Amino acid sequence: MTRTTPLPVGVALGTIGLEGDAWLRAASRLATGPIDRLWIWDHLMGRGAPERSVLEATTLAAAALALSPNLHVGTLVLDVTKRHPALTAKIAATLDAIAPGRFTLGIGAGGDAAEHDALGMPYGEVSERIAALTEQVAVARAMLNGNPSERITHSAAGSLSGAASAPRPGARVRLLVAGDHPSSISLAATYADEWVAPAVTFAAGYAQLRESERAAGRTEPLVRTHLLHELRASETLLESPFGRDPQGVLAAAHASGADGLIVTVRTERDVEDALQLLAKLR
C-alpha cells in the first residue's frame, strides 16, 4: 500500500480524573490542532477509585461538538452493554442533528466487568456481549440509515416493534466497530465504516479484517483502520513510545496497514504535549 499523504492522527481524551471544566478546556485546545478526530472513552466509574471524577461519553460528545464547530468527534467506544441499542441509535441521530457529518458512532462488545457489577448492569459472557454488539449494529443501521417509514420488527434486544428514528441523518453516520474478537472483526468487515484495535493485536486483526472483507464481497471503500496507541497506567504521553519517538510510531502504524493512528491523553498537560508533537510532524 502506498500512502501519499501523512497518516492522520486522532486523539482519545480520557474521561476519568478530569472535572467538567478541565475536560472542556482540553477538548477546545485539541480542536485547534491538526487532529483527525477527538475520541471519547466510555466509562461511568473511576477504576479502583469511586471518588474520582468520571464524565459520561455521549454528554461530552454533545458538548464538544457544540463548543467547536469544526471539530469531528467519535466515541471510543460505547459499550453495548451499557445502553439499549435503540437509545444509542437515537443519541447518534441527535448528535448528527446538532453537528451534521461530524459524529462517528464507535461501539464495542464491552469492557470492565467490575464497573458493570458496581452499577448493577449485566455484563455477560463473551458470546452474550458479541450478540449484543451484533444487535447494536443492526439497530443502528436500521434506525439511522433506513427510510423514515421502515420499522425494526425483529430484535433480540427486546420488543423493538415499530421503532424508527426521526430526525433521520442527512448522510450516513459513520460506524466504527472495535475489537480483536473474530466476530467483532467480521461485523466490522461487513457493516462498519471503520475499525480500531490496539497495537499489540492490530496486525493479526488487520489480516482477518481484509480477509473477511473479501469473503463478504466488499469492495471500495474498504473499512478504514485505526491503530490505537494506549497509555500504561499512570504513564504520561511524553513517557510513552509516541512521546519519545512520534515519527517512529507513525511509521510503524503506516507499515502495519493502518489508515490512522489514535493516541491517548489523560491530562491537560498531555494535551499540550500532544499539540507540540503533532505540530512537529506537520
Determine the pLDDT at residue 4. Answer: 44
**Residue matched to cell numbers 443492526:** 138
Residues 6+ apart with CB under 8 A from 37: 10, 11, 71, 72, 73, 74, 104
Which segments in the chain show pLDDT lower than 50?
A: 1-4, 149
Q: What is the 3-state secondary structure (H, E, C) of 256-273?
A: CCCCEEEEEECCHHHHHH
Q: What is the pTM of this model?
A: 0.94
CA distance 24 to 187: 33
Q: What is the grid cell recorded at 75?
A: 466515541
Specify the pLDDT at position 165. 80
Residue 217 cell numbers, joined: 464481497
Quick count: other Cβ atoms within 10 Å of Cβ 34? Answer: 12
Residue 129 has which C-alpha cell?
456481549
For residue 169, give the DSSP letter.
P
Domains of the chain in start order, with CATH, are: 9-281 (3.20.20.30)
Question: What local confidence, expressed as pLDDT, does residue 154 receive?
Answer: 53
